[in-house]
Amino acid sequence: MLLTSLPAEAQLTNQDRPQVLDLSRFYRERFITATKTNVTFAPIVGEQHYDGLPFRIEGRGWVYGRKEADWVHSQPGRENVQYPDFIGITVGRTFDELHLLHAARWADVEGETIALLRLNYADGTKHEFPIGYGVHVRDEQRLRSEEKESLTDTNSNVVFRGEPEYSIYKSTARLFKSTLVNPRPEKIVATLDVVSTRRLSAYYPVAATVANRDAARARTVAVELDDERRFRRTTTIRVLDGNGKPIAGALVDAGMTVDKTSVIASPLRTATNGEAVVHYPGMRTTSLSVTVEKAGYFPQKLFWSAKNYGNAWWQQAVEYAALMKSFVPETNTVILLSSNSPAANLPPR
């Protein structure tokens, strides 16, 4: 019998079919075990289809992120937990597109590259895709301190929203899908690496599938974004060195209490004028903290609490409270002293 007389599906070669990549040796967590169930991902465990492609969802692992590592290392008995990169995920074929289900743990600066996905071609050449915070992924939780949920990459969106693993944060959980186009689709890709850029956020892929381009493939309707938050309160953090000159690129990392829940906020970096503007949700915020740091300088911390203004801050009627001035100053100047400063002039640590 001639090959051309076979059903179309039977004529597909392994190179034509979508291929689910095996990430299991890098798992830190399996979503369902005999002793524990992850309530966020349990509803989608197993084979799922997004954009007409198969994905295998069983667990997750994440590469290094500074906030994740600091949090884990602060726990007794976990001081030596390591976060190796994911090296050598087997591919072994040509393909047009790499499709990812992924997210991040902890927030990072908008646009920051938090990981690199490296294609290792069989001929020894390589190509790296930068994974950007706010570009392809965000924190796995839509916290109440997060103003914007949309992504700047047009081939990335939210495809799953579920119950948060920890209800204390009063958030929702989410998973993003991205499509990355292979710049050399004629070459065999031997392996894929996931490499941390060692920023604040810890990147994690949940599932990955490679496939050839198919314009006729069904597309999954993206989850509607919760993108209507507009925070009316702001405070400008002005960062100067010991000589009064502005420091550009300083990290301004905020945390706040919103709706009686302590949450992280979106970090910022100062502009060339040394300023960064922190947004927070007005009367729902009862405390705000800011840590300012820059390599070569000693960090500084600021903290404000509405409790200093009495219980009326959150107990009065909305009409009255709306007239009250924010407990956070509109402008704050932070002096960062160089780590080369004389010991007598160093701030307490």
- Encode pLDDT of 91-114 as tens digits: 999 999 999 999 999 999 999 999
Tokens of 305: 């609490």
Residue 3 has pLDDT above 50, yes or no: no
Q: Identify the pLDDT of residue 229.
A: 83
Reply yes or no on whether the pLDDT at 293 is more than 90: yes
Q: Is the pLDDT of residue 311 over 50?
A: no
Query: Residue 314's pLDDT is what?
Result: 44
Model pLDDT for residues 203-228, shown as the tens digit of each residue: 999 999 999 999 999 999 989 887 66
| % of the chain exceeding 70 in pLDDT | 87
pLDDT given at position 87: 98
High-pLDDT (> 90) share of the chain, % = 74
Which CATH architecture is the domain 233-345 placed in?
Answer: Sandwich (2.60)
**Which tokens belong to 115?**
């990981």
Higher pLDDT: 189 or 345? It is: 189
Q: Would you state the pLDDT for residue 165?
A: 82
What does the mean pLDDT of the chain come to?
Answer: 88
Structure confidence by residue, pLDDT tens digits, 251-281: 999 999 998 899 999 999 999 999 999 999 8
- pLDDT attached to residue 341: 58
The Cα–Cα gap between 99 and 101 comes to 7
pTM of the full structure? 0.88
Over residues 10-38, the mean pLDDT reads 88
What confidence score (pLDDT) does residue 16 get? 83
At residue 105, the pLDDT reads: 97
Which residues make Cβ contacts (< 8 Å) with residue 8, sequence separation at least 6?
A: none
- Give the C-alpha distances (Å, rounded to integers) separating 283 from 117, 310, 327, 331: 41, 14, 10, 18
| Closest of 70, 98, 117 to residue 291, by C-alpha | 70
Banded model confidence at residue 13, pLDDT cuts 50, 70, 90: low
How much helix, strand and coil, in percent to the nearest 5, is found in the chain? 10, 40, 45
Full 3-state SS string of 306-320: HHHHCCHHHHCCHHH
> What local confidence, expressed as pLDDT, does residue 8 receive?
45
Average pLDDT over residues 132-159: 95
Q: Is a pLDDT exceeding 80 seen at residue 146?
A: yes
pLDDT at 339: 80
Place 230 in a pLDDT band, splitting at 50, 70 and 90: confident
Tens of pLDDT along 163-173?
A: 988 888 889 99
For 51-99, write each residue's pLDDT tens digit.
999 999 999 999 999 999 999 999 999 999 999 999 999 999 999 999 9
Q: Is the pLDDT of residue 320 over 50?
A: no
The type of residue at 267 is: P
Please determine, for residue 7, whether its predicted confidence score (pLDDT) is greater than 70.
no
Model confidence at 194: pLDDT above 60: yes
CA distance 48 to 45: 8
